[in-house]
Amino acid sequence: MKLGWRVWLLIIVVLLSVLAIHPTFQDGVVVKSVEFNSTIFNEGLRAGQIITSLNGQQIENKAEYTAVIEGIFIDTQVQRLDIATKDGEYTIFTNQTPEITVDTIPRTKIQTGLDLRGGARALVQADQELSDAQLQDLIAVSSNRFNVFGLSDVQIRGVTDLDGNKFMLVEVAGATPADLEDLVSQQGKFEARIGNKSVFTGGKHDIADVCRNDASCAGITQCGAAETGYACSFRFTLYLTEDAAKRHAALTEELGFDETGRYLSEKLFLIVDDREVDSLLIGADLRGQVATQISIQGSGVGARQEDALQDARTNMQKLQTILITGSLPYKLHIVKLDTISPTLGDQFIRLILLAGFASILAVALIIFIRYRKFKASLALLLTSFSEIIIILGVASLIKWNLDLPSIAGILATIGTGVDSQIVILDEAQKGISISVKERIKRALFIIISAYAASLASLLPLYWAGAGLFKGFAITTIIGITAGVFISRPAFADIIRRMEE
């Protein structure tokens, strides 16, 4: 049987989806988090890097990593630890296990939500109504604070319910609800110090304004090659109040100069919740000057110039946010707090996959018994599986985390897909005077009408429950859209050719 263009389109989309899922079989472990200001952090190891060997011993998985680490630090003697990653090598001397968290390298680009990985999730609301800009600032400063505390896999995003109320959804893998509740309940505190003396604090009391989104006073100044890749510098203007500028002048007047003569002998340290998050050089021309405008400078690094540029922009945005926001200007309370075990998540995935496969197989068997056509049953099976692959491919492409509602959406898509294919089979089997082609067209019209009704009912779910049902809405919309415009027309083409 010659394949039509609709079938070829389905095959091409499925192949592209498989490429988007990108199955991989590389060895090693991926770094999930590194304790801020630890020795290995200062050496340059960062989350996302892949460790391939420790002290020359190849690491293939998490179990081997744990065994090698336990063998190295079997006593309290100072040991040399050589960590080889795909981005470079790092060496430290320590008598304790390095303060990093690792995990098995994902075999695909499919990202799972907290429901399946384990951890804690909180739906957080401020004690006052927030604008979109205030919500984004809250998310940015909260992200900075969670990173400072060394938590891994932090996902923070803004969500809105059907009534227009704005929330912050915080998901932290590997954390307990008590940890998350304690961090969320703190308002945070920002302070800039020279030595152990406070110069200014965050917020409107000491900071009049921070230049953002204005190329004349904020942006990347230069990029170039460095010893281990590339480095880019950024600069933006900070506007202090008169009182803060006088305190800065009084403290800098007592300082000397460094060996270059371009900067003062002490740095300006940025402190969040009593932890140092960054340090900045103070220009020599600011010594003893009551300057309400201060130029803040920093840098970003990366293996490629594009990576260094992105790192510099990210660092600049973090500093700008923390300077503007300071300690949060409102209290937060937790509307909903959830936790789930990763073991239960793994078991749930296996059971869902088993149930989905059994359901499709059972439907195909019923179709075979009803219509007595093996090829039609096989076509139904392949079409249903192709829709699942397309959903997973699109989710990988847009980096959507698949959670329990998302999996429920996949199952719903399978159900609607089977219904549509039965409609096509029934219309094709009717012994009426019109042609098979016209009957298939009539079936597709019914399917498209049902699709429009389903789409209209799914859109409100995108915002329902403060975004907690967003996964169901997204995966179902992806599935039924791909089905209506790609897989079901291909199935209809196959059935039409069989009948003719």
Which tens digit of pLDDT belongs to each residue from 82-115?
Answer: 888 887 888 888 887 787 878 777 777 777 766 6
Burial of 50 (0-12, 13-18, 19+ CB in 10 A): middle
Q: Which residue ranges make up each domain of the chain?
A: 5-23+344-499, 29-104, 119-187+331-339, 190-325
Least confident of 7-21, 50-64, 108-122, 476-490: 108-122
The topology under which CATH files domain 29-104 is Pdz3 Domain (2.30.42)
Higher confidence at residue 23 or residue 123? 123
Res 81 pLDDT > 50: yes
Query: Do residues 325 and 137 make contact, with C-beta atoms less than 8 angstroms apart?
Result: yes
The domain at 119-187+331-339 falls in which architecture?
2-Layer Sandwich (3.30)
pLDDT tier for residue 346 given thresholds of 50, 70 and 90:
low
- pTM over cut 0.75: no
Position 146 scores a pLDDT of 64
Res 344 pLDDT > 70: no
- The whole-angstrom separation of Cα 197 and Cα 357 is 65
- pLDDT 10s digits, 413-454: 887 877 777 777 777 766 555 666 777 777 777 778 888 888
- Extract the tokens encoding 87: 């981005």
Strand partners, 6: none
Which residues, 6+ apart, have CB-to-CB distance to 338 below 8 Å? Answer: 120, 121, 122, 177
Helix (H, G, I), strand (E, B) or coil at 76: coil
- Tell me the average pLDDT of the chain: 78
Angle CA 469–452–473, to nearest 5:
10
Longest dimension (CA), the chain: 99
Which residue from 251, 285, 289, 256 is spatially nearest to 268, judged by alpha carbons?
251
pLDDT tier for residue 279 given thresholds of 50, 70 and 90:
confident
Res 325 pLDDT > 50: yes
Query: How many residues make up the chain in this entry?
Result: 500
CATH class entry, domain 5-23+344-499: mainly alpha
Angle CA 123–352–426, to nearest 5:
115
Burial of 285 (0-12, 13-18, 19+ CB in 10 A): exposed
- The whole-angstrom separation of Cα 76 and Cα 195 is 34
Position 292 scores a pLDDT of 84
Average pLDDT over residues 404-417: 80
pLDDT tier for residue 382 given thresholds of 50, 70 and 90:
confident
Average pLDDT over residues 376-401: 82
Strand partners, 93: 80
pLDDT above 90 as % of the chain: 1
Position 66 scores a pLDDT of 84
- pLDDT 10s digits, 284-310: 888 888 888 888 878 888 878 888 888
- The whole-angstrom separation of Cα 298 and Cα 221 is 10
Higher confidence at residue 200 or residue 467? 200
Higher confidence at residue 280 or residue 189? 280
Average pLDDT over residues 469-489: 84
Which residue from 321, 267, 308, 334 is spatially nearest to 144, judged by alpha carbons?
321
Position 72 scores a pLDDT of 82
pLDDT tier for residue 150 given thresholds of 50, 70 and 90:
very low
